[in-house]
Amino acid sequence: MIVVTLPYPISANRYWRTRVIKPKAGPAIVSTYVSTEAKAYKQEVGWLLRAAGVREPLQGRVSIAYTLYPHRPQDWQTRQRKLGDAWQDTVQCIDLDNAQKVLLDALKGIAFEDDVWVRRITAERAEPDGEARIVVTIARLAVEQPQAALALEA
């Protein structure tokens, strides 16, 4: 099992960049590529995983659980007095699904072989308690054979 605290991910909205190339002759070509920001995030995640002792990707099926902690704003106490427990809803935070795409791409090839092996994902947005971050747990999943009895009957 791997448990690691990583920097707050960039939004999937900033993950991809698109440019239009207009040649002198012929139609324009649209090119979509991974942004410099996304490459830097993946590189930082790689360094942090290696520092945490991850030397090779987990093989086979894996489950991933992550908790996204948005940055706690300086005026959080004022918000809490005015809004009670609902103050957290006013804190800017990327969507869990936006974080997920970026996170899985950053972990791919380092913590697990490929995201095709991710069989279970659990995501949660936590109360902002300080610095923005994402806490990730990756575990190997046993290969279940729910229909193994059917093969014996044949």
Over residues 86-111, the pLDDT tens digits come to 888 888 889 999 899 999 999 999 99
CA atoms within 13 A on the CB side of 63: 10
Answer yes or no: are the C-beta atoms of 21 and 28 closer than 8 Å: yes
**What gap in Å lies between CA 76 and CA 80, rounded to an integer?**
6
Element (H, E) at 103: helix 96-107
Q: What is the pLDDT of residues 100-139, one digit of tens each?
A: 999 999 999 999 999 999 999 999 999 999 899 999 999 9
- Region 61-89 average pLDDT: 92
Q: How many domains does the chain have?
A: 1
- Region 33-55 average pLDDT: 94
Of 9, 41, 39, 3, which Cα lies nearest the Cα of 134? 9
Q: Containing domain of residue 75, as a range? A: 2-153
Residue 140 is part of a domain; what is its CATH number?
Answer: 3.30.1330.70
